[in-house]
Structure 1
Amino acid sequence: MTVTYRVGVDIGGTFTDIVLLGSDGTIHTKKISSSVGNYAQAIVDGLSEVFRETGLDGGAIEEIRHGTTVASNAILEHKGARVGLITTKGFRDVLEIRTLRMPKLYDLTWTKPEPLVERYLRRVVDERVDHAGKVDRALDPADAERAVDALLAEKVEAIAICLLNSFANSAHELMLRDIVAAKAPHLPLSVSCEVLPEIKEYERTSTTVINAYVMPIVATYLHALRRGLDSAGIPARLLLMQSNGGLTTDIAAAERPMNIIESGPAGGVVGAQALARAKKLEKIITFDMGGTTAKASMVEDGEVARAQEYAVGAGIMIGSRLLTGAGYTLKVPAIDLAEVGAGGGSHVWIDPGGALQAGPESAGASPGPVCYDKGGEAPTITDANVLLGYINPGHLVGGAVKLNADKARAVFEEKIARPLGMTVERAAYGAHLIAASNMIRAIKAVSTERGRDPREFSLFAFGGNGPLFAAGMAAALGIGRVIVPPSAGLFSSFGLLYADVEHHYARTFRRLLRQADLGEIDRAWTAMAEQADGQLAVEGFTGTGARLKRSAALHYKGQSYELTVPVPDGPIDTRMVTHLEEAFGQEHERTYGHRAGPDEPVELVAIQLVGSGLREGSGVPQNVRPSRVESKAQTSRRAWFGDKHGWMDTPVVSRLDLAEAKTGPLIIDEYDTTCVVPPGARAERDSAGNIVITLAAG
């Protein structure tokens, strides 16, 4: 039988991770430094290195699954397209007025981010549609043409169209779309009734504009990647990870790049979800720590937690739901992540008050931590972990990256230990603990701030630095079990291989449930299902290969925010209404700690549907066999475990050595990560190859 391969590629701020998985279960991994100049070429070069190591060629690759930060970087760096916006007269400044929310309640110096469309590139048309879709003032075709001509004269690179209440009646937006298509047929165009036919004016305008802003960038990147793969003899199908955890084709991603803005972090959560289902773990918190950031999410009852909107460039994405307003709002489904600026490359520094701090600034891939010996001068968390003995200076990335521990010690002593009057190891341990406390904030954001008790969860740790910190953080949170999956340092790439093709659909459908025309709601869901089936059929998913899942966004009448609950199969009748009201009440109590009485009216805000494409034989094999044999560079080394334990001679073991349980302290050195088991904890390898760490009670 011919063995075919699928590839997962994830580009991070420090490393690019490549996982090659064969249909027979063989797996080959590669970790290379990220190349910020040309990500597409870096992927092709990385795959070429893998081919040289394995003896394979491009013809053996069936599919490439890719998580990318190209779109989010374009927004963060303000390097997107020159966009023109056409909107309703009187609503020209929606992008600047926003929602009047502030992320920092008492900071009078805080200023809003600059809008992605400058004011002179926002043109208005004199039209008006009411909330029910009735045309109060028809759009004059001549007025529409004037607005389009004005933007074309400014040589815009993309146009966004967003008119008031177009989700209820899209006729005027479609007229403008046709005019643009006739005058500039090749100009990228983003129309709100096609992009986001939902209520909320700012969110819809912002989403439509962001989609237009990144369209040329993403299309250019994907075209260059496709061209590079073809020239390297790799004709495999290219799929992109979406922010929501599903895959989409490169063609669909170029048309709706808003869906891949947070593509990068999603793969690891999807992989954790798959392994949690396989191990029948009902509750896990995922913890992904790389070189620049740390991210946490939650998987409950086998389902990933998703947010219906999020902000790009909002900085640390944790805290109360009320403290919004930073960044650029995208109203598309996304895995509900909390992120902090804490990674291996995070700078360690002393603030003006003399307190030790870690992050959020990072050394990144270049120059990197001081110990990388590439010109870095600021001490980092990785430098601290080398000084503590947690990281073997000669074994990072299987020995491919040699670390200069002496230089790290000299800089740490000069800039941190001596000013604080501490020994180097105590200063380094303090930096380690501060980084851990910063990341604990992210875990609390997806657990306690969502009404969940983290002590009821297992901590699923991955990323290049996640397994190094996980046990200590779990102990601080009262979590009793830590799981470290195979290829943990490349798990975001590995997780891409578990994902399904997905298309998400939503439509505003605001009705009080008990007074609604249930047949109308049923027909609306049926129409969305037909749309999803049609899209999946085009991509080759039919019959049992196509799966549809419904959900509904609900709130109590008068509330401004809604919660999403699943909607089971079956007709929308009075029994379904009762079910939805009860499901919403339970979710409201779980999230906010209370629910209203049975007489409080529940309002449907939006109907939603996810169409998934399930390819036969595309699952990850049960028995995954790494082709890279781990070799231990050391049998033990001294490591510092705080004042309580001090320096300890710590056994260094491999994952294979954990067939029988061992008691910490232990260090597990692997090609892509280092796992630290503190004194008193027990570690063993389960049947799926995961390291399971059980922490001592108390």
Structure 2
Amino acid sequence: MKRISVDIGGTFTDCFFVWDDIYVDAKALTTHHNLALGFNDALDLACKRAGLDRSTVLSEVDSVRYATTLGTNALIERNGPKVAAIVTHGFEDTIPLSRGRGYGEGLDYSMQQNLPAAERPEPLVARSLIRSVKERINSAGKIVARIDPDDVRSVVRELVDAGAEAIVVSLTNATENPEHELAIQEIILDEFPPHELGAIPVLLGHQVSGRKGEYVRATSTIVDGYLHSIMFHALSQLSNNLRDFGYDRPMLVIHNSGGMAQMNSTDALQTIHSGPIAGVGAAEHLSNETGIGNLISTDMGGTSFDIGLVPEGGVKHYDFLPTIDRWLVSVPMVHLDTLGAGGGSIASYDRIHNSVKIGPQSAGSNPGPACYDRGGLNPTVTDADLVLGYFDPDNYANGYIKLNPRRAKFAIEENLCDYLDMDVVEVARVIKDGVDEQMAIGIGKELRVRGYLPEDFTMLAYGGNGPLHACGIARHAGIKRVLAPPFSSVFSACGAGNMRQLHFHERGVHVTLYNATTRALYSDYADLNAVITELEDQGREDLVRQGFDGDEVQFRLELDMRYGNQLLTQAVALPDLSRVSGVGDVLEIIKTFGDVYSHRFGAASAAPEAGIRCNTVRVAAFVDGDVVNFDTLENGGERTVPDPIGHRRAYFIGHDKPIDTPLYNEEALSADRVIPGPAIVTTETTTFLVEPSWRLEPTEQGAVWFLQD
């Protein structure tokens, strides 16, 4: 196996490089103006460590996989094109109204309870760029009012004249019959042929989301259209860079569904959060291979802190109506909770509470934290860590970045010390303890809202800053065991290397599996099986288009189910069922739904007497591939304490005075060692901070346990 996997974050570009039995990780600063430059820097460093040159590697490697937060950043910065929307006549205000309470999506819980004071998000489609066409298809897919081509041409010309750079078409009930959406696309392409310079992207709602619901399908398509050009140009830039150095295979893009595909089978919407979700995928793979049990995955990078949940058995949680930025969308996405808390998160003075506020704003990679000495003036978490003595200024990121302690102290003093009436070390402690607590609260909320206790989970700490803050986060969260996994600083990139080709296709349905009024079970098997067959054909077509044999494709059936008229739906995976052929299969589906629902909400909460319905049929089509193998995490032999390579004064939470802290390098991380806290271990890619009352126990392949004494 020869593979390059890349995770392009807001601050660093992480590279995980596999060359047969050689595993190499490397990092470089993200170059936002041209992502290929940061990739080249990271790959050059990885090749240097492996003793190879870039051209040789790219000409022989079997795949290059990219995960990126570019789409997320584009939404935050609102630097996308002018998007126009065409909807059914009478539905012009569906998008701006956003379901009444829709503008509460994406806000924290406290703001959702006070919506009158909440700010509506800046719309991705201006009301002046929404037009309607006279057409109507009913809920059964029957055409009630046919489309008028002249009406469509007039509307399209108006939108183009108004400056539209992309057109979204989302018509009522198009999932039942897409004829009118396809007709509008044909008219637009006739007016503005793709081979001529005036052509603009056209996105159809039924192709982006096959689920019912006009508003959510429209927002999904709008977000996709808003990011389409940005992602196309950025990923094309990366693809062209690969070809310039001899890579002649299709570039693969990680999806937020937990799979990946070539660019020609990727929607821009599917790239949102793909980097952190690759880390959750790696956590799932680690759980399956090692039997470690319940995992809470935490990725602390330079910009954000991402939390994922992998219960015992390695089953990921999915969101089927996730919120992206401030918009509810209908794409299957691995569940992820993201906090604006990373090494580059800016610490500012909160005048109301006379305290320090951390994030969500980040210094990013340019200019970066003040200590990077690149013009940053705001204090960050990294500046506080440097002031507290956790970093070697001359050996940060393997010497790639030289840190300036005076800049860090100056930034904290100028922005915080005078307001808080504290010295610079006290403020740095407040920043460090505050960000640890903030991340621990996020972990506790994520676990408890799903019925789990933090003490029943092992915390997986990765990302460039994960092992540095692991003990502090665990202390606040009440977690006793923390694991920094193999290749922890580039663990999400490692996860991208383990992804398989996967596509989800889904369709909204009206299926009553148990009718509470007539007390009858569902019996129209042919109709349901026809939907399943159609979705399997779409998934197979996707993968065959990417070069796979149709016989290699595997499928997994999933249903979104609910009791009666409940609003809450529960996704139910049915890996052992591909078709419904009798009463036994219907009863098995009902039993599986009851077990999943009862496990999540309690046995007494199930209500089959209200009836059991299925709203969505979903099929995952995938092809398995080679993966990186993780070694055992256990070590039964005796351990010895290594000799430190030096000492440095460092400050710890709960200790007023500095402690002369032993320092270690990567050689101390062998499986027969134990490092008692306090201690600092500096490697080429990350820093392990062992706080007092904790100890560090390395394992094979570079995994490291943090255990409380």
Q: What is the TM-score of this pair, normalised by structure 2?
A: 0.89
In structure 2, the partner of 1:470 is 470
In 1, are the aligned partners of 2:277 and 2:334 still within 8 Å (CA)? yes
Given candidates 677, 691, 699, the residue that maps to 1:664 is 677
8 Å contact from structure 1 (residues 487, 672) kept in 2: no
The answer to whether 1:587 aligns with 2:587 is no
Task: Kindly indicate whether the alpha-carbon contact (under 8 Å) linking 1:635 and 1:651 is maintained by their aligned counterparts in 2.
Answer: yes
Correspondence 1:611 to 2:621? yes
Matches within 5 A, 1:416-455: 416-455=416-455
Separation in 2, partners of 1:360, 1:106: 20
Which of the numbers 511, 519, 526 marks the counterpart of 2:526?
519
Q: Deviations over 1:457-498 (max 9, x none)?
A: 110010111111112222322222111023212222122111
Match of 1:321 in 2: none
Q: CA deviation at 1:261?
A: 2.2
SS at match of 1:450: coil
- Look up the match of 2:264: 251
Name the aligned partner's letter for residue 470 of structure 2: A
Structure 1 segment 16-27 matched on structure 2, within 5 A: 16-23=13-20, 25-27=21-23
Q: Is the 8 A contact 1:541 1:614 kept in 2?
A: no
Pair 418,540 (structure 1): closer, same or farther in 2 beyond 3 Å: same
Of 200, 214, 217 in structure 1, the residue corresponding to residue 227 of structure 2 is 214
- Tell me which amino acid in the other structure corresponds to 1:669: T
**Among 555, 563, 567, which residue is 2:574 paired with?**
567
1:69 to 2:62 alignment: no
Residue number among 32, 38, 43 corresponding to 2:39 in the alignment: 43
Structure 1 segments (4+ residues) deviating >6 Å: none
Q: Does 1:7 find its partner at 2:4?
A: yes
- Structure 1 range deviating more: 651-660 or 233-242: 651-660
Q: Corresponding residue for 1:316?
A: none
Which one of the candidate residues 284, 290, 294 is aligned to 1:283?
Answer: 294
1:18-49 residue CA offsets vs partner (Å, 9 max, x unmatched): 222112x2123322111121113432454355
Consecutive unaligned residues of structure 1, counting only runs of 5 or more, are 314-326, 625-630
d(CA) in 1 for partners of 2:595, 2:424:
51
Local SS of the residue matching 1:599: helix
Specify the alignment match of 1:601 in structure 2.
611
In structure 1, the residue matched to 2:123 is: 115
**For 2:657 and 2:610, how far apart are their aligned partners in 1?**
59
Q: Is the 8 A contact 1:95 1:115 kept in 2?
A: no
Is the CA contact 2:10–2:302 (under 8 Å) kept in the aligned structure 1? yes
Contact 2:11 2:29 (8 Å CA) reproduced: yes
Corresponding residue of 1:319: none
The answer to whether the Cα contact below 8 Å between 1:61 and 1:236 also exists between their aligned partners in 2 is no
Residues 407 and 152 of structure 1, relative CA distance in 2, 3 Å threshold: closer
**Structure 2 unaligned blocks of 5 or more:** 195-199, 516-521, 633-641
Aligned equivalent of 1:184: 192
3-state DSSP of counterpart to 2:154: helix
Letter in 2 for 1:29: D
Asked if the contact 1:636/1:649 (under 8 Å) is kept, the reply is yes
**2: CA distance, partners of 1:229 / 1:574:** 54
Tell me how far apart the structure 1 counterparts of residues 657 and 621 of structure 2 sit (CA, whole Å).
55
1:131 to 133, 136, 139: 139
**Corresponding letter in the other structure for 1:604:** C
Q: Is the 8 A contact 1:41 1:225 kept in 2?
A: no
CA 1:478–1:43 in 2, change beyond 3 Å: closer, same or farther? same
Cα distance per residue 1:206-249 (max 9 Å; x no partner):
11122222222222222222222222333343101111121110
Q: Secondary structure at the match of 1:18?
A: strand
Larger mean Cα displacement after TM superposition, 5-14 or 175-184: 175-184
Asked whether the equivalents of residues 28 and 41 of structure 2 are also in contact (C-alpha less than 8 Å), the reply is no
Native 8 Å contact 2:385 2:428 kept in 1 = yes
C-alpha distance in 1 between matches for 2:292 and 2:381: 32
* Alignment partners' CA distance in 2, 1:88 and 1:410: 58
How many residues get paired? Answer: 669
Residue pair 1:426, 1:642 contacting (<8 A) in 2 also: no
- Distance in 2 (CA, whole Å) between partners of 1:453 and 1:582 is 26
Do 2:487 and 2:703's aligned partners in 1 also have CA atoms closer than 8 Å? Answer: no
Which range moved further: 590-599 or 673-682?
590-599
Distance in 1 of aligned mates of 2:156 and 2:654: 69
Please show how residues 53-202 of structure 1 align to structure 2 within 5 Å. Answer: 54-56=51-53, 57=55, 58-101=58-101, 102=104, 103=107, 104=111, 105-154=113-162, 156-186=164-194, 187-202=200-215
For each residue in 1:597-655, what CA deviation from the matched residue of structure 2 results, as whole angstroms up to 9, or x when unmatched? 3423121010111111223xx3225579xxxxxx9994332322223474323222345
Cα separation, partners in 2 of 1:498 and 1:159, compared to 1, 3 Å:
same
1:542 aligned partner: 549
Distance 2:191 2:449 in 1: 50
**Aligned residues of 2:631 and 2:700 also touching (Cα < 8 A):** no
Which amino acid in 1 is paired with 2:222? V
| TM-align CA RMSD | 2.4
Q: Secondary structure at the match of 1:514?
A: strand
Asked if structure 1 preserves the Cα contact closer than 8 Å seen for 2:286 and 2:630, the reply is: no
2:343 paired residue number:
344
Compute the displacement of 1:403 (Å).
1.2
Question: What SS is found at the alignment partner of 1:303?
Answer: coil
Which amino acid in the other structure matches residue 641 of structure 1? F
Q: Which moved more, 1:275-284 or 1:105-114?
A: 105-114
Conserved? CA contact 1:656–1:685, under 8 Å: no
Distance 1:12 1:603 in 2: 41
Counterpart of 2:703 in structure 1 is 690
> Which gives a bigger RCO, structure 1 or 2 (Cα 8 Å, sep 6+)?
1
**Identity percentage over the alignment?**
30
* C-alpha distance in 2 between matches for 1:691 and 1:651: 18
Which residue identity lines up with residue 648 of structure 2 in the other structure? R
Amino acid at match of 1:653: Y
Q: 1:518 and 1:250, CA in 2 relative to 1: closer, same or farther beyond 3 A? A: same
Give the letter aligned to residue 10 of structure 2: G
Mean Cα displacement is larger for which, 187-196 or 462-471?
187-196
- What is the letter of the counterpart of residue 343 of structure 1? G
Displacement of 1:51: 4.4
Aligned residue for 1:287, secondary structure, equals strand
Q: Which secondary structure does the structure 2 equivalent of 1:564 belong to?
A: strand
Report how far residue 526 of structure 1 moved.
2.2
Amino acid aligned to 2:318: R
Aligned partners of 1:62 and 1:237 also within 8 Å: no
Counterpart in 2 of 1:556? 563
